[in-house]
């Protein structure tokens, strides 16, 4: 069994690669829910949805979020009513949020709802939220602490950040199936996908018990660098690292993960100075499906090498 | 000022006619909210929406509910997720429900939300819910008491009914602007639109204080028969009256309203036996806009005749 920790776009690309290499019952994805928020009264789980849509072949490859072949009649009508339009919800995507919100209010867990949606939509690997309790990522800007989506989408990630915090991590319980899996001795590798460490991976590791369970599961922990040549492929990773005074480099991200890592997969040309984990070189830019599959294979080979 | 009591389709037709005859500031429509319900976690107000869409020129004349030029991507996606599809919500219509639900949860009244929506969409006459408190129409069938929409839409109004009740009328407070208007001495006529008496008009009259305020407002109360030649133009009015053992006739409806009525507008050919109110004859079938306007004029003329 492979357990992959993932945020949205970049992580979902590797998860898709892994899903082509592994039978679905051997892949579990532990998804960041720190980006979750309530919008228009609806419960939105951006990373879960990106993973779910990607693994079901329903993702929108142009935007990296939402569904392909989407229409926007709802959004136009919301605008006509004077409602908020800064966070775009497509007509089809909306069904996910409305139905999830209804079920959450009826007392179902996010885990159970996600499992049902994945089954219905045809996303075969198991996707688990990091917790069924709310954890909310917030960033400190010059205007004070703001919710992540207000900054990321509402302000297009423009204001410089000075700190990141994960609200709710004191009370949040780790997802029980993930904990059981980690304790089972059946995990052959924990894969940290090339997601933003600050807002996609670290919220997962901040859920009480998860980091320790990963360290103690007996399997190698293999991360894939989200930084190539000092730049992030997509999103605000590089900007955020720089604003927090962190090195914008593959090695810098590896050092953030520290002794949690057994192995680190990074671009052949990038500098590995100071990385304590075993370094594996592979092309990490995943444009098409063949590159996603090749990287997935490289990650699994790295894990096997670390086990040997 | 004219105050019109209305349900959905039939009432909205006359309301539209009145809106062409009266300046918008001289027409207030008091809408039934007994059909309101929560669906997919959203607050749905069918009669308010039919009135609002009709007066804004956004109604769907084929269905009598929802919006014209509608699309159904959301509904298809809900179905794919295993959600409930028996009550159809179009992509544009959905914006009304999502935004209304969000505002209700934020503590706004249905009255304030409806006023804002009407302003935004261009429905100029004032539309007031009969109450900002929940009143829920229920019907007794052989299977017991069921919520109105479960019977009306979910069961296509098929099971015979034995009784109708309006849950919440003990606690519900009448809409304050409507009460102030009725007490102001400025009302020239109260118009009871040709809506279903059992489920559209009687819920309004069941809100504590409203019936008495109408009786004491000093203006004639003019109803328009929803029955033509022993048949309802649309909807389950005739079926429901028959199942309750009531005469399916224009005169039967007038007798239900009883001494509340000053005048009654009905089809020239229909039998007026036993009607205590003053009877006015006019064509009441409203196919096109000219017929709606003509009936509106006939109703206002009847009111003036009763005032004389």
Residues of A with Cβ-Cβ distance to B40 under 8 angstroms? 98-99, 102
Burial label, B134 (beta-carbon count in 10 A; 0-12, 13-18, 19+):
middle
- pLDDT tens string B243-299: 999 999 999 999 999 999 999 999 999 999 999 999 999 999 999 999 999 999 999
Residue A61's pLDDT band, with cuts at 50, 70 and 90, is confident
Would you call A56 an interface residue with chain B, using a CB distance cutoff of 8 Å? no
CA distance B243 to B246: 7
State the count of interchain CB pairs (< 8 A) between A and B.
101
Calculate the average pLDDT of chain A.
Answer: 96
CA distance B173 to B133: 7
* B219 against A143, higher pLDDT: B219
Give exposure, B36-59, as e/b (b: 16+ Cβ within 10 Å): bbbebbbbbbbbbbbbbbbbbebb
Percent share of chain A, pLDDT over 70: 100
- pLDDT tens string A10-38: 999 999 999 999 999 999 999 999 999 99
The pair of three-digit structure tokens given for residue B174, joined into one six-digit string: 């009448």
- pLDDT tens string B139-188: 999 989 999 999 999 999 999 999 999 999 999 999 999 999 999 999 99
CA distance B210 to A46: 48
Instruction: Classify the C-alpha dihedral A172-A177-A183-A188 as positive or negative.
Output: negative
The partner residue sitting opposite A78, judged by closest CB among B42, B71, B99, is: B99
Instruction: Determine the pLDDT at residue A167.
Output: 97
- pLDDT tens string B113-139: 999 999 999 999 999 999 999 999 999
Contact in structure between B295 and B286 (CB atoms under 8 Å): yes
| A269, B211, B253, B275, B286 from B258: Cα distances, Å | 90, 12, 9, 8, 25
- pLDDT tens string A251-302: 999 999 999 999 999 999 999 999 999 999 999 999 999 999 999 999 999 9
Could you give the domains of chain B?
2-307 (3.40.50.10680)
Q: What is the rounded average pLDDT of the residues A27-52?
A: 97
Query: By CA distance, what is A58's nearest residue in B?
Result: B77
- pLDDT tens string B18-64: 999 999 999 999 999 999 999 999 999 999 999 999 999 999 988 88
Instruction: Determine the pLDDT at residue A151.
Output: 95
Give strand pairing partners of B42. B39
Closest CA to B72 of B48, B94, B45, B52: B94
Phi, psi at residue B171, to the nearest 5°?
-90, -20
Residues of A with Cβ-Cβ distance to B81 under 8 angstroms? 95-96, 99, 116-117, 120-121
The partner residue sitting opposite B91, judged by closest CB among A71, A105, A117, is: A71
Closest CA to A183 of A219, A130, A222: A219
Contact B94 A94 (CB under 8 A): yes
Whether residue A234 has pLDDT greater than 90? no
Pairing of strands B189-192, B221-224: parallel
The Cα of A44 is separated from the nearest Cα of chain B by a number of Å equal to 14
**SS (HEC) of chain A:** CEEEEECCHHHHHHHHHHHHHCCHHHEEEEECCCCCEEECCEEECHHHHHHHHHHCCCECCCCCCCECCCCCHHHHHHHHCCCCCCCCCCHHHHHHHHHHHHHHHCCCCHHHHHHHHHHHHCCCCEEEECECCCCEEEEEECCEEEEHHHHHHHCCCCCCEEEEEEECCCCCCECHHHHHHHHCCCCCEEEECCCCHHHHHHHHHHCCCHHHHHHCCCCCEEEECCEECCEECCCCHHHHHHHCCCCCCHHHHHHHHHHHCCEEEECCCCCCCCCCCEEEECCCCCCCHHHHHHHHHHHHHHHHHHHC
Whether residue A308 has pLDDT greater than 90? no
Instruction: Determine the pLDDT at residue A88.
Output: 93
Contact A99 B78 (CB under 8 A): yes
Whether residue B308 has pLDDT greater than 90? no
Phi, psi at residue B131, to the nearest 5°?
-160, 150
Whether residue A64 has pLDDT greater than 90? no
């Amino acid at each position: 069994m492979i357990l992959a920790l993932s945020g949205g776009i970049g992580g979902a690309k590797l998860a898709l690669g892994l899903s082509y290499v592994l039978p679905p019952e051997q892949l579990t994805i532990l998804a960041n829910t720190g980006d979750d928020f309530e919008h228009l009264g609806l419960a939105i789980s951006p990373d879960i949805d990106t993973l779910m849509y990607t693994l079901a072949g329903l993702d929108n490859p142009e935007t990296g979020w939402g569904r392909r072949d989407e229409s926007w009649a709802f959004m136009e009508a919301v605008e006509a009513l004077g409602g908020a339009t800064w966070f775009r919800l497509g007509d089809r995507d909306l069904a996910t949020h409305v139905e999830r919100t209804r079920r959450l209010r009826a007392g179902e867990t996010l885990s159970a709802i996600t499992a049902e949606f994945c089954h219905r939509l045809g996303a075969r690997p198991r996707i688990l939220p990091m917790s069924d309790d709310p954890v909310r990522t917030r960033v400190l800007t010059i205007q004070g602490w703001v919710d992540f989506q207000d900054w990321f989408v509402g302000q297009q990630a423009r204001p410089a950040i000075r700190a990141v915090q994960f609200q709710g991590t004191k009370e949040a319980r780790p997802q029980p199936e993930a904990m059981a899996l980690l304790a089972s001795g059946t995990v052959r590798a924990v894969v940290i996908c090339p997601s933003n460490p600050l807002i996609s991976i670290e919220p997962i590791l901040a859920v009480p018990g998860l980091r320790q369970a990963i360290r103690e599961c007996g399997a190698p922990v293999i991360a894939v660098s989200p930084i190539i040549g000092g730049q992030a492929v997509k999103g605000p990773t590089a900007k955020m690292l720089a604003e927090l005074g962190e090195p914008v480099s593959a090695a810098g991200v590896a050092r953030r993960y520290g002794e949690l890592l057994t192995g680190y997969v990074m671009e052949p040309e990038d500098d590995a100075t100071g990385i304590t984990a075993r370094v594996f070189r592979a092309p990490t830019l995943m444009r098409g499906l063949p590159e996603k599959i090749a990287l997935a294979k490289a990650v699994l080979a790295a894990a096997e090498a670390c086990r040997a």
